[in-house]
Amino acid sequence: MKRDEERGPALAHRDRVDLYEAKDRVAVALVESIFRRARYRVQPYHPDPSEVRFVREDFAPSFTAVLSAEDGTERAFLLDVAYRPFVEQFMGLENQRRASSIFVLARRHWPSLRSVLVTDHPERGRSRFQAVVVGDLRSDPLISTVDLTEADELGIFRHNVEDHEELLERIFAMLLTDRHRREAARVG
């Protein structure tokens, strides 16, 4: 018996990454790749030490994306990327929160923040990569999603997203296959 297993089940599993967390990490990596392919300079998010802390300490943007135009101007965004198995259900809950939604609070804190949700169960006809649209922050904002390619301010092309959707499907399938293989090895 391994030493961690002797100390209890919580310690025996501490080094394992759960499937949800693995999908979340893959989501961030693929969205970074989409933005790189769209010619953005992508860098990890580094908070300014003088910056006021956000309402939730467990929340921070995933990365910074900067696009340089031919005239020398730049468009810069902070990007928050999260995996959600069922986007519509998640958005329904966020809309119930209205002004206290994480998306509203985060956009007020970081005006250049844009959020991308990645799912392996999109609604029929929807992309696996969806941008969150936050309504007017001065009123009671409605929150919705559009396919990432429909978020015009970002300038992401459909073929870019389609290539990454195929990659997402393959990686998630491998994660599930590996998970089932490990579970079978434990049982057998």
Residue 137 in this model has a pLDDT that exceeds 80: no
pLDDT in tens, 157-187: 999 999 999 999 999 999 988 666 666 566 6
Q: Cβ of 31: how many Cβ atoms within 10 Å?
A: 27
φ/ψ region of 157 (left if φ > 0, alpha if ψ in -120 to 50, else beta) reads beta
Q: What is the pTM of this model?
A: 0.84
Distance (Å, whole) CA 13 – CA 4: 8
Q: What percent of the chain has a predicted confidence (pLDDT) above 70?
A: 80
Report DSSP state, residue 33.
Answer: H
- Distance CA(109)–CA(76), nearest Å, equals 16
- 120 Cβ contact partners less than 8 Å away, ≥ 6 residues apart: 23, 85, 128, 168, 169, 172
d(C-alpha 127, C-alpha 152), whole Å: 15
Locate the domains of the chain by residue range.
Answer: 16-187
Provide the pLDDT for residue 25: 96
